Amino acid sequence: MKSGLTLVVLFSLLIGQIAQAAQLVVYSGRKDKFIKPVVAEFTKETGIKVLLHSGSSTALLNKLKLEGNKSTADLYISNDAGNLEKGKELNLFSTVPTELVNGIPQSLRASDNSWVGLSARARVLVVNTEDKSVDFVKSVFDLSDPRLKNKLAITHSGNGSYIAGVTVYMESAGKKKTADWLAGMKSNVGGKVFNKHSKIVKAVAKGKRSVGLVNHYYIYRHLKKHPKAPIKIVLPDQGKNDIGVAWNVAGVALVKGSKNAEAAKQFIAFVTSEKGQSLFANVNREYPAREGIAAAAEVPAAGSYKVAPVAMQVLGQKRNATLDLIESVGMP
């Protein structure tokens, strides 16, 4: 009996030592303030430490490609499904077991489970409530209307969410309509585009612009600081024959050749669990990818509005075609 107890104690100590020794290296395309709370809770539960290398999702994907099998990265987190799907095409990721990710809808993960969506964001309109001349705007395609000359705010065309949105619109409405829409927006921005969604919301709130195209959570972030700001959210394209709101996801992938694959799978299991999903999404007011987990109370509930039926994998598969279209119009 004594020797049996000794073995149990030794085994427990060994597991503890493995957890302490493991340190995951994560290439993260998300801002630290949005991922660190999740990482801290994961480490608290598992004892596995996490080292974040933060930067732009695209730059980190290129870094992985250049490093090849010499990379020290175990996981890659992107704020854009397009980069995740590109990583899959480049064969940079390993497939994870289905049982780890089956709580996430298939439309929000790779067809082979080489990446999985963690949280979703909606492309919506932020509108200045004091400018009644823009009340007609109900669709993203209304943003090309000449009545919005010098009243429209959009990001530069290199923004990941911008590119993903254009892909959804191109897939849903066709290349010709999307090209005409881009050309109309190019005219309406009056030569000025923004490098951040937060600056768009701020410009609309101050009346410098009347309507902007942004990710939904930037509006709620601004209203938390400035509850009396004269802005509102408009969920576009909700009519019977309209395409619905464009979605995009942030997600995670297991890097091929990871030296800590089992610990990395534990991380994926955690961030796709009910607890991890609530943490990951609510810290930034995004939509949990896992079904049945509520978003932040102030955010329109998932399922309460029409979403464009474009699978997230398509955002990567059609990325080059989207970039070609954007370039052909000469978007700033």
The total number of structural domains that make up the chain = 2
Cross-strand partners of 127: 211, 232
pLDDT per position as a tens digit, 25-79 = 999 999 999 999 999 999 999 999 999 999 999 999 999 999 999 999 999 999 9
Residue 88's CATH number: 3.40.190.10
Residues 199 and 325 in one domain: yes
Residue 10, pLDDT score: 36
Residue 134 and residue 113 share a domain = no
Task: Please indicate, yes or no, if residue 306 is contained in any of the structural domains.
Answer: no
What's the pLDDT band for 201 if we cut at 50, 70, 90? Answer: very high
Q: Are residues 138 and 264 in the same domain?
A: no
Residue 309 domain-assigned?
no
Residue 304 lies in a domain: no
Q: Which two tokens stand for residue 125?
A: 């309109």
Nearest-CA neighbor of 125 among 115, 111, 136, 140? 140
pLDDT at residue 3, rounded to an integer: 43
Q: Which two tokens stand for residue 262?
A: 């089992």
Q: Is residue 240 part of a domain?
A: yes
Residues 325 and 202 in one domain: yes
- What local confidence, expressed as pLDDT, does residue 4 receive? 45
Supply the range of the domain harboring residue 197: 121-246+318-329
CA distances from 43 to 24, 72, 283 (A): 10, 19, 17
Assess whether 269 and 209 both reside in one domain: no
Please tell me whether residues 148 and 188 are part of one structural domain.
Answer: yes
The answer to whether residues 156 and 205 belong to one domain is: yes
* pLDDT tens readout for residues 105-128: 999 999 999 999 999 999 999 999
Tell me the per-residue pLDDT of 261-279, one tens digit each, with 9 for 90 and over. Answer: 999 999 999 999 999 999 8
Residue 6, pLDDT score: 45
Look at residue 282 in the predicted model and tell me its pLDDT.
80
Specify whether 38 is located in the same domain as 148.
Answer: no
- Is residue 163 domain-shared with residue 241, that is, in the same domain? yes
Q: Is residue 52 part of a domain?
A: yes
Q: Specify the pLDDT at position 13.
A: 41
